[in-house]
Structure 1
Amino acid sequence: MFYISKYLFLLFPLIVFLFNGKKNDLQEYNIHGYAQGTDYSVKYFAADSLITKYAVDSILSVIDSSMSLYKPYSRIVKFNKSNDGLDLDPHFATVMRKSFEVYKATNGKFDVTVAPLVQAWGFGPKRIDKFPDSAEVKELLHCVGMNNLYLKGNRLTKSKACISVDLNGIAQGYSVDVLAEHLVKKGIKSFVVEIGGELRMKGPKPDGSSMRIGIEGPAITSNAEPVIRHIISINKGAITTAGNYRKYLQKGAEKVAHLIDPKTGYPLSNALISVTIYAEDAVTADGYDSPIMAMDVKEALNFVKSKKGMEAYIIYHKKDGSVADTLTKGFKKMIVQ
């Protein structure tokens, strides 16, 4: 099971997919299970059951053995315990290369070395009794920073023994992509793969209609249950969401969100409530949604507009405390309701 910097139980902005339509001569197959600390679902149309639950579980198990902080035998745990680094398996290496890309593009807002801070604020594998004070945060920041990591080929090294890696802010999207590519290799042309609200789809459905996906967000009244705010229609690509209105910890009067700012060492506290990203693949959408949460609304929109093939839907607090939303032109074109 993973634990996320975003974070893997994915109880924040949930994306619900709608997969109805005339099946023609193809049948709809559904596989459901539990992996990486959350539920997963694989839905596809085919003439026969080409994908088995065993195959899906096996793929996810291999990824867990690579990048799960909860598996003591995983490669990532071994790296974190090492003094200077080690050779990575192909899954780990691929995700690290993408992580460096996102780190550079977001000027360090995305940083996979936040594991000590994630744990200190109570979102890691171990329980905590109290939140860290400023002195503890300052000390932990000495062991944070992707500038302390170096990837050459498949070997990842670190300049400080205390540096540890947490890939849960991006590895789940990667897992979605691996499953999606498995379906494509099997010749499946219409599917939705979803893990904990992160999804990738390919269409259209057999009747020619597009996939429809419900985008969840907070209700207008603060105490009400989240609601489906919009329904979008697309035929390919990935959708992921990062947010802070579902996933948080509270001790007494203190309430902290699970998204940690790697520059300050403290949980994010800004106007953004959630960010939903569309991209061609899930690892890209997943990697960018959390660091975009660390931006203000204008910066976030401008950043997404600068990225080819990326679109965004943003929910945020206005200065008067009310909830509002905004989106890119491309995302607006996807909305059907």
Structure 2
Amino acid sequence: MKNGKTILCKENCNFMIKILIQKILPFFFIFFISCYNEPINSLVVISGETQGTTYNIQYLIEDCKGCSDDQQKIYKTEIEKVLSLVDETFSLWNMHSDLTRINDGEKIKVNSMFKAVFSAAEEIYNETDGMYDCSIAPLTHYWGFTGDYEKLDNADTSEIYRRLMLVNYSKLKIIDDSIQLPDGMQLDYNSLVQGYSVDLISEIFLKNNVFNFLVEIGGEIRAYGKNIDGESWIVGIDKPNEKLDLKNRFQVLLSLDNMSLATSGNYRKFRELNGIKYSHTINPNTGYFANNKMLSATVIHESCMLADAYATAFMSMGIQESIAYCKNNQEVKSYFVYSDDKGNWKVYSSPNLKILE
């Protein structure tokens, strides 16, 4: 009987084990499968103020369910450090910035940021035959688009001509990592520094293997990867209206995939002289406001810095020259809003733009 009890016990035990296996294993199997589902993405948003405007950054973190705010915003400190260094280098409002000191006639040793922006500005200057010129500062100061200004009742032709003689980016060189401007010359990099800042922040994410993000500073944008819904990022181009209509704001929506976008326009920043509104874009060949039918120029490019610069250049060049340039340089994609001879809005867009109807 002892052996019989042993056999019975073993049989009962085996039976119980089978039951346990049947009931418990599926649970572990389900648990195992759930553990290896696709990672949970959390959307992190960082916003603030910089360069006289605002910034908005969105990025996705994998497997971050229950992350603390500090864990989610691990890049915020690095981003703020970069933006602070950009300000210390290029700000026209910071009396101690490198650019302010350079404009005051000092000879200073420049950092890698300054070299990158200097070279990009030189590239677009050459590409556009001088229609993009960052030595335009004496004229933008005169017309009151940087710093404080008094109301101009009449333009002083002789003063404009004097300042125009100071505009020539081809005269500038960085020698032994240092630069000193000729007497009277001044630089203004506002037309590409925001785009450059977007590129710098994008590089922070890429070097840390974050491949789903959108960076926006003052309307200049770089979008990479997918949004929280697993789709390409959607961005809007404002209508060229003087007043912002939030209910009917966008001229068009674009799908942006691993590209940058920058827009320049004359519709919200202008000077009034003798009752006539003039655009903030100065023609570096004449010293006066750009007088053409371009209302807004949007450029899509891999580099947000170059997109920013090209958008400004096209506002000076006008619609026909800008279209011709883009057709001959297909890496520079564009969306232009301009007026015809009757004042009606017209649109030109490069082929293959991902426009959403």
Give your verdict on TM over 0.5.
yes
1:31 matches 2:53:
no
**Aligned equivalent of 2:96, options 39, 54, 73:** 73
SS of structure 2 residue aligned to 1:294: helix
Correspondences of 1:277-292 after superposition (within 5 Å): 277-292=299-314
The 2-side partners of 1:271 and 1:251 are apart by 19
Residue 339 of structure 2 is aligned to residue 317 of structure 1: yes
- Counterpart residue type for residue 355 of structure 2: I
Listed as ranges, the gaps of 5+ residues in structure 2 are 1-37, 65-71
Larger radius of gyration: 2
Provide the residue aligned with 2:134 in structure 1. 112
1:324 aligned counterpart, secondary structure: strand
Partner residue in 2 for 1:202? 224
Change (3 A) 1:153 1:292: farther
- For 2:48, the aligned partner's letter is G
Q: CA deviation at 1:154?
A: 2.5
How big is each residue's C-alpha offset from its partner over 1:31-89, in whole Å with a ceiling of 9 and x where there is no partner?
A: 01011000100100113415443332221011100011111111111111126x43211
Deviation, 1:330, is: 2.6
| Secondary structure of residue in 2 paired with 1:143 | coil
Residue 66 of structure 2 corresponds to residue 82 of structure 1: no
User: How far apart are the structure 1 equivalents of 2:280 and 2:49?
Assistant: 22
- Report the counterpart of residue 295 of structure 2 in structure 1: 273
CA distance in 1, matches of 2:116, 2:250: 34
Partners of 1:50 and 1:186 within 8 A in 2: no
Structural mapping, 1:60-209, within 5 Å: 60-82=83-105, 85-130=107-152, 132-152=155-175, 154-158=177-181, 160-205=182-227, 207-209=229-231
Q: Amino acid of the residue matched to residue 149 of structure 1? A: L
Moved more, 236-245 or 39-48: 39-48
Report the TM-score, using the length of structure 1 for normalisation.
Answer: 0.86
Partner of 1:12: none
* Amino acid paired to 2:284: P
Task: List gaps (5 residues or longer) in structure 1.
Answer: 1-22
Once the two structures are superposed, residues 240-262 of structure 1 have per-residue CA deviations (whole angstroms, 9 ceiling, x without a partner) of 00110111122550322111111
Moved more, 276-285 or 54-63: 54-63
Corresponding letter in the other structure for 1:26: N
User: Which residue in 2 is equivalent to 1:45?
Assistant: 60
What is the CA-CA distance between 1:157 and the residue it aligns to? Answer: 3.8
2:264 match: secondary structure: strand
* Greater relative CO (CA pairs within 8 A, separation 6+): 1
* 8 Å CA contact retained: 1:59, 1:179: yes
**Residues 1:211 and 2:211 are matched in the alignment:** no
Give the letter aligned to residue 258 of structure 2: K
By how many angstroms is 1:134 displaced? 1.1
Q: Which amino acid aligns with 2:56?
A: S
Q: 1:218 to 1:24 in 2, by over 3 A?
A: farther
Moved more, 299-308 or 311-320: 299-308
For 1:39 and 1:80, the matched residues in 2 are separated by 26
Is the CA contact (8 Å cut-off) linking 1:90 and 1:154 kept in structure 2? no
Task: Give the TM-score taking structure 2 as reference length.
Answer: 0.82
Q: Distance in 2 between matches of 1:40 and 1:122?
A: 25
Contact 2:243 2:268 in 1 (8 A): no
CA contact (8 A) 1:31 1:52 kept: no
- The structure with the largest strand share of the pair is 1
Note the alpha carbon deviations across 1:103-134, whole angstroms, 9 max, x for none: 00000001111111001101111222325321
User: Could you tell me how far apart the structure 1 residues matched to 2:282 and 2:55 are?
Assistant: 25
Q: Which amino acid aligns with 1:128?
A: E
Q: For each residue in 1:271-324, what CA deviation from the matched residue of structure 2 results, as whole angstroms up to 9, or x when unmatched?
A: 100000000010110111111112232321120122242200000010011111
Secondary structure of 2:200 counterpart: helix
User: d(CA) in 1 for partners of 2:274 and 2:323?
Assistant: 35
Tell me the SS of whatever aligns to 1:63. helix
Q: What count of residue pairs does the alignment treat as equivalent?
A: 309
CA shift, 1:153, in A, is 5.2
Q: Specify the alignment match of 1:11 in structure 2.
A: none
Offset, 1:25: 0.6
1:215 Cα offset (Å): 1.5
